[in-house]
Chains A and B, each alone.
Chain A
Amino acid sequence: MGALVWILHNFWTLLVALVLALVGLRIAWRFYKYGATRAELAYILRRSPFYLVVLTFCFFAAAPFLIMFMHTFKTDGDLYRRPQPFIFRQDPTLEHLDALFNNTAYLDFIRNSVVVGLAVVVITLALSLPAAYALARLTGRWGERAGILMFLVYLVPPTLLFIPMFRIVVLLGLKDDPMSLIVVYPSFTVPFSMWLLSGFFKAVPPELEEAALVDGYNRVEAFLRVVLPLSLPGIISTIVFTFTLTLHEFIYGLVFIADTSQRTLSVGVPTELILGDVYFWQPLLAAALIIAIPVGLAYNLFLDSLVQGFTMGAVKG
């Protein structure tokens, strides 16, 4: 706790020091490698505007996270005192984190979201892998058009669909059950994943599958042993994307489930931590931050294959 307090008190100093240290190390490393020549000094001068711009963008990208992080630990008095500089005028506190985990159903929300997310990912893959493969390989002109039609389904907004869908959910007896979301979410994740995956499948040369067919395998085996391993980056980015789509879905989650302990994160957090016009800022920001960090990391890890997937679909589709 003592260390945390110290870090939070000196947060901005530490951040600037860290950035300066990294920049300094980079310059020092170049000097160590190339020596302090005029050319080297010119190089550093020439590159510094570029790094300055990069640093600015980094700051804007990171600022929401930094602010969420800081405000999580602020006392009410400190938070509402004007003006609101990003420093601690009172000692940081852990009481809001404690409240979030012990006085709200936050852990239930996480569990529900993860269960729903994983189940939807499994269903989505099971449906969209064969569909995307068929779209990429086994169709003529009409297949391409069918693919575009299926993608159009994705463009129908849930705000139009939640009322008819609600009737279906009630009919199935799934009201107030996260199961209802598992049934409904694939309606938008499948078209999207199918489109993403077919781009990756198209990038696998058909000759490789033909080679597998001649080598003694049937089409399903050729798909499983050759196409699938080669489109693994695509499949991973589809998983990440599908999971985050379910994670931030709001309207179905709000309408289908009224029971607090059965709600998902995207619905549970705002409904539990905003009462009327009272915003419980610190736990709200903490709840958002805790979820945003793993998702952000996952996106960063698979950013390249995600971009690749979109552009492939765009160029060839």
Chain B
Amino acid sequence: MSIVQINDLKKYFNDVRAVDGVDLAIDQGEFLVILGPSGCGKTTLMRMIAGLEKPTAGTIQIGGEDVTELPPRKRGVSMVFQSYALYPHMNVFNNIAFPLRAQRRELKFDKRQMREKVVHTSRLLEIDMLLDRRPRQLSGGQRQRVAIARAMVTQPAVLLLDEPLSNLDAKLRANARDELRDFQRSSNITAVFVTHDQIEAMGLGDRIVVMSEGKIQQIGSPQRIYDDPANEFVATFLGSPSMNILSANGFRFGFRPEHFLPKTLHDSPKNSRIFHYYVKRVEYLGSDRLVYGYVHGHEDDLTLAKVPSNVRASLDIEGDYEFAVHYSDIKFFDQDSGRRIEQQNLAKVL
């Protein structure tokens, strides 16, 4: 059952179409990631769900109720900001208790119950020994936990997270990702997570919404989005290094560098398209070798291949090789719209 229902949502800032007609249904208990390059409207979309930004057109329903015109406090959502937005003049306890104090006016519960809720939530996030500290005395990881605790303490219908991991250093980030996912699973809360980092998106999301220029490009599971991109934007945005795109006979086609391997490595060359590949340079990256070169007939486009290091193919600098891609790994796109073309026989045309 969907808990958030967004219909044809638009937000224009003067002439800029930040969000341009978004339809989205978020399911109860799912971890939804909104992924896109900066300026694609993902943060604006989240701020409209939170009620911090008024939509130009369209509706938002949360829990079956139309909340488009409601202020943030009446929507049953909470939010973790990119900067965490902890109140610097309050200690950790009061930061976490802050939303509860607002709730106390409507839901009657006494100070003792409030204290219990704060302590309970802080235990879950393992920050219960920091309750007396001020935000500025905390490390980045601790601040992030306090921000999540503050967002979780009222048990909101939807938890919105705006790039909460981007301020952590790389080592902490993987750990925080794992903990965030565990925490979301165990509390069974609906989470909407905005990020521009595809690794975060792939690792965290049940479903990923890929956005660009204010529009949703594709919605699907991480695997679906990676293996079966809906258009050229999604295909090239995901994956590092990104997909090689070449044009031919009125359409464009692409294949991922990790699928572009020396011919000898393909078990059935019959099912693969063979390219004459001129290798310009090889980078050794430990687990992989990254090969830079040109496909014969497409000398304008740099084409990359990612060959696992344990493959004992000799790739001498500067030379012609035969590389191949399995036909099922080649994706075809419309020349003009960039939309995916599902046409297997195109492969024979190549």
Determine if A210 and B102 form an interchain contact, defined as CB atoms under 8 angstroms apart. Answer: no
Determine if B88 and A214 form an interchain contact, defined as CB atoms under 8 angstroms apart. Answer: no
Determine if B89 and A214 form an interchain contact, defined as CB atoms under 8 angstroms apart. Answer: no
Determine if A216 and B73 form an interchain contact, defined as CB atoms under 8 angstroms apart. Answer: yes
Q: Which of B52, B81, B99 contacts A216 (CB 8 A)?
A: B99
| CB-based nearest A residue for B75 | A214
Determine if B81 and A215 form an interchain contact, defined as CB atoms under 8 angstroms apart. Answer: no
Determine if B81 and A210 form an interchain contact, defined as CB atoms under 8 angstroms apart. Answer: yes
Determine if B102 and A215 form an interchain contact, defined as CB atoms under 8 angstroms apart. Answer: yes
Interface size on A, residues (CB 8 A): 17
Q: Could you list 12 further interchain pairs (A-B, Cβ under 8 angstroms) beyond the known A214-B73, A214-B79?
A: A205-B85, A212-B98, A213-B71, A214-B50, A214-B52, A214-B72, A214-B78, A215-B102, A216-B73, A216-B102, A226-B87, A230-B88
Judged by a CB distance under 8 angstroms, whether A207 is at the interface is yes
A175-232 interface with B by 8 A CB criterion: 205, 207-208, 210-218, 221, 225-226, 229-230
Interface centre among A211, A225, A230 (most CB of B within 10 A): A211
B86-126 interface with A by 8 A CB criterion: 87-89, 98-99, 102-103
A contact residues around B73 at 8 Å (CB)? 213-218
Judged by a CB distance under 8 angstroms, whether B77 is at the interface is yes
Judged by a CB distance under 8 angstroms, whether B154 is at the interface is yes
Determine if A207 and B85 form an interchain contact, defined as CB atoms under 8 angstroms apart. Answer: yes
B contact residues around A212 at 8 Å (CB)? 87, 98
| CB-based nearest B residue for A208 | B85
Determine if A211 and B89 form an interchain contact, defined as CB atoms under 8 angstroms apart. Answer: no
A contact residues around B154 at 8 Å (CB)? 216
A contact residues around B103 at 8 Å (CB)? 216
Judged by a CB distance under 8 angstroms, whether B83 is at the interface is yes
| CB-based nearest B residue for A232 | B89
| CB-based nearest A residue for B153 | A215
B contact residues around A205 at 8 Å (CB)? 83, 85
Q: Give Cα A225–Cα B99 distance, bound, in whole angstroms.
A: 12
Cβ-closest 10 pairs across A and B: A216-B102, A215-B99, A211-B85, A207-B85, A216-B73, A213-B72, A214-B79, A214-B72, A229-B89, A207-B81
Q: Distance (Å) between the CB of B42 and the closest chain A CB?
A: 17
B contact residues around A213 at 8 Å (CB)? 51-52, 71-73
Q: Give Cα A228–Cα B261 distance, bound, in whole angstroms.
A: 63
Q: Distance (Å) between the CB of A222 and the closest chain B CB?
A: 10
Q: Give Cα A221–Cα B103 distance, bound, in whole angstroms.
A: 13
B contact residues around A208 at 8 Å (CB)? 85, 87
| CB-based nearest B residue for A226 | B87
| CB-based nearest A residue for B104 | A216
A contact residues around B89 at 8 Å (CB)? 229-230
| CB-based nearest A residue for B77 | A214
**Known contacts A207-B83, A210-B52; is-contact A215 B150 (Cβ 8 Å):** yes
Q: Distance (Å) between the CB of A221 and the closest chain B CB?
A: 8
Determine if B78 and A215 form an interchain contact, defined as CB atoms under 8 angstroms apart. Answer: yes
A contact residues around B78 at 8 Å (CB)? 214-215
A contact residues around B83 at 8 Å (CB)? 205, 207
Q: Distance (Å) between the CB of B90 and the closest chain A CB?
A: 9
| CB-based nearest A residue for B147 | A211
Q: Give Cα A303–Cα B217 distance, bound, in whole angstroms.
A: 55
Q: Give Cα A213–Cα B50 distance, bound, in whole angstroms.
A: 9
Q: Distance (Å) between the CB of B249 and the closest chain A CB?
A: 52
Question: Mind listing 6 A-B residue pairs with CB under 8 Å?
Answer: A205-B85, A211-B79, A213-B71, A216-B102, A216-B154, A218-B71
A35-75 interface with B by 8 A CB criterion: none
Determine if B81 and A217 form an interchain contact, defined as CB atoms under 8 angstroms apart. Answer: no
Determine if B85 and A217 form an interchain contact, defined as CB atoms under 8 angstroms apart. Answer: no
B contact residues around A225 at 8 Å (CB)? 98
B contact residues around A214 at 8 Å (CB)? 50-52, 72-73, 77-79
Q: Distance (Å) between the CB of B248 and the closest chain A CB?
A: 49
Q: Distance (Å) between the CB of B78 and the closest chain A CB?
A: 6
| CB-based nearest B residue for A211 | B85
Q: Distance (Å) between the CB of B1 and the closest chain A CB?
A: 24
A contact residues around B72 at 8 Å (CB)? 210, 213-214
A contact residues around B87 at 8 Å (CB)? 208, 211-212, 226
| CB-based nearest A residue for B162 | A207
B contact residues around A215 at 8 Å (CB)? 73, 78, 98-99, 102, 150
B contact residues around A230 at 8 Å (CB)? 88-89
B42-73 interface with A by 8 A CB criterion: 50-52, 71-73
Q: Give Cα A215–Cα B103 distance, bound, in whole angstroms.
A: 9
| CB-based nearest B residue for A228 | B89
Q: Give Cα A218–Cα B77 distance, bound, in whole angstroms.
A: 15
| CB-based nearest B residue for A229 | B89
A contact residues around B51 at 8 Å (CB)? 213-214
B contact residues around A211 at 8 Å (CB)? 79, 81, 85, 87
